[in-house]
Amino acid sequence: MYYFGDIEDERTLKEIRLFRHGIVHDASLFFFEKTKNEYYCFRYSDNNETSNLINFAEEIWDGNFDSISPKNMTIVNRKVLINKTSHIIGKLSELNKIPMNLFISDSLPGKEKELINRYFLMIPRN
């Protein structure tokens, strides 16, 4: 989101990352960072009243499921998320058309094949 999504706000970047962690690691719209005593309750919205990717919770959630309320929910605007993700995929697709040797640092000689095969999955294999 930072490099290709034009998002520089630290709080937005943090909360979209935590949202992703909840979904990917727990298949959940909740995220618990117990070591930091941070708890997040995420919900989707298609609200067109705001163009924000994330609408931050008004209050900090204490992690107790009995205390969940609209005031301590972090709202992710589904339409903005989909549009932002599509835009990033488009940018990456365009970058994928540029020869990879322009991106690989001279400080990694001999690693070009490994990097391309491991991480540039959009390149068709011959």
Mean pLDDT of 87-91: 87
Measured in residues, the chain has a length of: 126
**For 23-62, how does the pLDDT look when each residue is reduced to its tens digit (9 = 90+)?**
999 999 999 988 889 999 999 988 766 788 999 999 999 9
Q: Please tell me the pTM assigned to this model.
A: 0.72
Mean pLDDT of 104-125: 61
How far is the C-alpha of 18 from the C-alpha of 25, rounded, in Å? 10
**For 52-85, how does the pLDDT look when each residue is reduced to its tens digit (9 = 90+)?**
899 999 999 999 999 999 999 999 999 999 999 9
pLDDT band at residue 6 under the 50/70/90 scheme: confident
Q: Are 81 and 50 in contact (CB under 8 A)?
A: no
